[in-house]
Amino acid sequence: MKIKHIPSLLAGLALSASLALHPASAASDAPKNVTVTFQDPDKFTDVQDRHTSLTSTADLNELRDCVQQTAAPRLAPGHTLLVTFLDIDLAGQIRPDKDNIRVMTATTFPRAHVKFQLLDAEDKVVKEGERKLIDLDYQNSIEVVGRSDPLFYDKKLLKDWLHKEFKAGS
């Protein structure tokens, strides 16, 4: 085994171990009225693990949790929201050197392509659509709390969309 593959191998083993230790905790805390799926995530524009060229399940899980936690309290009792991600392009770009650092520039804004269905208690469609989300001015946000989160701008994009699309109690 070549030395250069050891960090990738260790990162994969650490992720597998953490998922094995806490497989149901995230699922049991998830709101039951919001379902998030990722359609062909390996074909997404940019959701690669920072240390490999594989799709980052950790990033996808964080984005799923963000959508569920943000949307759930905004829905009327008995309503269910189904969100499917068709593409994701995370804010910034991974620097192609050995450090795998994500660099934010004015031209590497966060984007997401989603489709959704809002269902009432009888599973009738109340609202549905497809949205291409983008924040061209993402670096000029005045919010400072949470900026240490590597997915801060991507989560903010999703939260902003959910707040605009689903008024509280919709």
Q: What is the CATH number of the domain that holds 150?
A: 3.40.50
Residue scoring higher pLDDT (36 or 15):
36
Overall number of domains in the chain: 1
Could you tell me the pTM of the whole model? Answer: 0.76
* Within a domain: 25: no
For 46, the token pair is: 């940019």
Structural domain boundaries enclosing 46:
30-165
Residue 15 predicted with pLDDT over 60: no
Residue 123 predicted with pLDDT over 80: yes
Residue 61 predicted with pLDDT over 90: yes
For 61, the token pair is: 């899980």
Confidence of residue 105 (pLDDT cuts 50, 70, 90): confident
Residue scoring higher pLDDT (109 or 1):
109
* Within a domain: 5: no
Residue scoring higher pLDDT (115 or 145):
115
Confidence of residue 57 (pLDDT cuts 50, 70, 90): confident
pLDDT at 12: 46
